[in-house]
Amino acid sequence: MRYESIGDAIGGTPLVRVDALIPEAARAKGIHLYAKVEMLGPTGSIKDRTAKALIDDLVFKGLLAPGKELLEPTSGNTGAALAVHAAARGIPITLVMPSNVTEERRAFVRALGATIVDSPADQGSNGAVLLARAMAKADSKYVSPDQYSNQANPKVHEITTAPEILADLPEVDVVVAGLGTGGTATGLARYFAREKPSVKIWSAEPMPGEKVTGLRSLEDGFTPEVMDTELLAGRILVNSRDSIIGARALARATGILAGPSTGATLAVALRVARDAEPNSNIVFIACDAGWKYFSAGLGDGNLDEMEDALEGDVFWW
């Protein structure tokens, strides 16, 4: 395949059958499970789609004229993806991240030419958001993509992720996505409500107070503007431990090495599978790659210690 830009290589991710993980009872009912393998993009996460869509939207609106600079508070996948797509388009970018973010993550975005501004470690992600807002207020050169409120976020899933699923699996009945900004689930729900209303969209959410990197609980009191929960069939809460076990199970049983947020999504998919109608086809979004979490012990570390690592206030969305 030949492309004009790395941004053009986004999407078109594989849909892989992973029936090995389905409980016997569900398998006997003819239920099939598929992973939409999003970690095969340039930065190994579904945020490649989001970042490109956000930048495209700002360019389309004329907000990224020469002299302007992208500014985003993020320590994780969105920052990495924005750095890639900003580099591909020659747009300067500054990422605000807590000073305790690992050197691996800093090196990744620095290598792509991003400028890093440290926010206080003890204030976590919220501190990064506050500092970025203050910087944007003080200097008009900064333009924030703001994935939490920009409708380009759910839109990209409505016009790419969802149609890809339906094209690859017209007999799809259920799609399960993790709830981070809510962009994926909302975009999927809007598309299927229109094109195949019988498809149910479920979301995976961390338990209130527990942290599954990349996901957030609405019960913790923050609902992103892009999120439209009314379109969802339901939300299922997952604890950190099951998210880690889920990621390990997926890797061992299928060879798909994904992160804890994918593990959480898998856990919800299995739960939905148990109660699903016979012959249902269930898709879950494998949203980011597992190699990013080796230092936290995803591969074979102590479960309890990895839970501690996830409890750190650094997120990957």
Partner 1 sequence: MEISTRWKTRSKAMSSGGSTQRLDSVVGIADRPKRVSISAEIAIAIRAHARGEAPREACGIIIGSAPAASGGAPLRWIPTTNVLASSTLYEIDPAQLLRISLDADDAGESIWGIVHSHVASPAVPSVTDTTVAGYPDALYLLVSLAPSQAAPDGEPGIRAWWIVDQVATEVELVVQA
Q: Which of 116, 239, 291, 313 binds partner 1 (CB under 8 A)?
A: 239
The one catalytic residue among 45, 203, 243, 261: 261
* Residue type at position 272: V
CB nearer to partner 1: give 209 or 278.
209
Q: How far is the CB of 47 from partner 1 (least distance, A)?
A: 25
Please pick, from the candidates 12, 30, 120, 234, the single residue that binds partner 1 as defined by CB under 8 A.
234
The percent of the chain in helix, strand and coil, each rounded to the nearest 5, is 50, 15, 35
What residues between 253 and 292 interact with partner 1 by CB under 8 A?
253, 266-267, 270-271, 274
The answer to whether residue 249 forms part of the interface with partner 1 (CB under 8 A) is: yes
Among the listed residues 168, 233, 312, 313, the single contact to partner 1 using CB under 8 A: 233
Neighbours of 133 (CB within 10 A): 16
The size of the interface with partner 1 (CB under 8 A), counted in residues, is: 39
Q: Measure CA of the first residue to CA of the last residue in the chain; give whole Å.
A: 29
Specify the stretch interacting with partner 1 by CB under 8 A; choose among 58-66, 138-146, 162-170, 233-241. Answer: 233-241
Helices (H), 169-259: 183-195, 240-254
Binds partner 1 by CB under 8 A, chosen from 97, 242, 288, 289: 242
135 or 310: whose CB is closer to partner 1? 310
Q: Which two tokens stand for residue 122?
A: 């003890």
Asked whether position 235 contacts partner 1 by CB under 8 A, the answer is: yes
Least CB distance to partner 1 at residue 2 (A): 39
Q: How far apart are CA 68 and CA 303, in angstroms?
A: 44
The catalytic residue among 47, 155, 211, 292 is 47
Residue 79: closest CA among 221, 179, 176, 214: 214
Q: Which of residues 295-314 bind partner 1 (CB under 8 A)?
A: 302-307, 311
Which residue has 């993509």 as its token pair? 145
Does position 80 interact with partner 1 (CB under 8 A)? The reply is: no
φ and ψ at residue 285, rounded to 5 degrees: -90, 115
Binding status of residue 38 toward partner 1 by CB under 8 A:
no
| Residue 120 is a binding residue for partner 1 (CB under 8 A) | no
Task: Give 125's contacts (C-beta < 8 A, 6+ positions apart).
Answer: 73, 75, 98, 313, 314, 315
Helix axes 77-89, 47-60, angle to 10 degrees: 50
Minimum CB distance to partner 1, residue 202 (Å)? 9
Tell whether residue 16 is a contact of partner 1 (CB under 8 A).
no
Question: Is 47 labeled as catalytic in the residue annotation?
Answer: yes
Residues numbered 201 to 220 that lie near partner 1 (CB under 8 A) are 207-210, 219
Query: What is the C-alpha separation between 123 and 141, in angstroms, rounded?
Result: 25
Closest CA to 93 of 75, 105, 79: 79
Stretch that binds partner 1, among 90-98, 114-122, 178-186, 228-236 (CB under 8 A): 228-236
Sheet holding 93-98, edge to edge: 115-119, 93-98, 69-73, 142-143
Residue type, 113: G
**261 assigned to active site:** yes
139 or 308: whose CB is closer to partner 1? 308
- Residues 6+ positions from 58 with CB-CB distance below 8 Å: 64, 70, 143, 145
Catalytic residues: 47, 261
Residues of the shown chain interacting with partner 1 in the complex, contacts defined by CB under 8 A: 20-21, 23, 207-210, 219, 229-230, 232-239, 241-242, 245-246, 248-249, 251-253, 266-267, 270-271, 274, 302-307, 311
